[in-house]
């Protein structure tokens, strides 16, 4: 007599539940972010023989600094500004130097409601402040600074406590982009005012 063993539905239901949970917990794919460029702004041609970029800012690579975690690094974007916005077209006896003195994003924890009241709220939990400080200097062949235009800009934004990693990175990207646009505007204005005699 052939014996038929019944198949229990319980293991199948457990396996199905595990698959459903795994599908629900799969993180969204990391988005790709475009480089922040300034090519649409046109070039400022200076009466210099060369243009140098000196990034003096040293990233700490630890919180509260988070610029190293941003999808597009503000320091490298400042370097990109020099490549996109200024060009050498004049005297070989002087050079332009873009000094990047700060290009940071700093995280600040905000006070949120604790207990039952905090459980039902979605409050702003962090503030991110981006700071970019640059100086475009004209230096003669003896190393003497004969002209300078500076720009220091700062922007902040807050994020909610339930924000996802992808949303946080998007916030950093948008903050970096807005800050660099401010830097471009401020530095261009100051170049036209303080380095006018070096413009061609």
Domains and CATH numbers, the chain: 41-111+122-198 (3.30.160)
Contact, 106 vs 70, CB < 8 A? no
- For the record, the structure tokens of 14 come out as 């457990």
Q: Of how many residues is the chain composed?
A: 200
How many of the other CB atoms lie within 10 Å of CB of 92?
A: 10
* Rounded mean pLDDT for each run of 10 residues along the chain, 200 residues in total: 49 47 59 94 97 98 98 98 97 97 98 70 93 99 98 98 96 99 99 98
- What are the pLDDT digits (tens) for 40-80? 999 999 999 999 999 999 999 999 999 999 999 999 999 99
DSSP assignment of 68-123 equals GGSSS-HHHHHHHHHHHHEEE-S-TTEEEEEEEEEEEEEEEEPP---HHHHHT---
pTM score of the predicted model: 0.82
Task: Please give the Cα distance from 194 to 165 (Å, whole number).
Answer: 42
């Amino acid at each position: 007599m052939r014996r038929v063993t019944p198949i229990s539905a319980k293991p199948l239901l457990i396996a199905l539940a595990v698959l459903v949970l795994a599908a629900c917990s799969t993180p969204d794919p990391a988005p790709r972010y475009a480089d922040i460029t300034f090519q649409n702004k046109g070039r400022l041609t200076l009466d210099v023989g060369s243009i140098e970029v000196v990034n003096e800012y040293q990233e700490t690579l630890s919180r509260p600094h988070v610029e190293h975690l941003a999808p597009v690094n503000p320091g490298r974007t400042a370097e990109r500004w020099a490549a996109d916005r200024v060009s050498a077209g004049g005297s070989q006896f002087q050079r332009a130097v873009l000094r990047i003195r700060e290009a940071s994003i700093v995280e600040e924890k905000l006070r949120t409601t604790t207990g039952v009241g905090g459980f039902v709220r979605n409050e702003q939990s962090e503030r991110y402040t981006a700071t970019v400080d640059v100086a475009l200097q004209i230096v003669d062949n003896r190393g003497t600074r004969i002209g300078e235009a500076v720009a220091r800009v700062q922007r902040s934004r807050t994020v909610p406590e339930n924000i996802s990693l992808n949303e946080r990175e998007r916030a950093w990207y948008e903050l970096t982009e807005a800050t660099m646009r401010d830097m471009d505007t401020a530095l261009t204005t100051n170049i036209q005012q303080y380095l006018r005699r070096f413009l061609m």
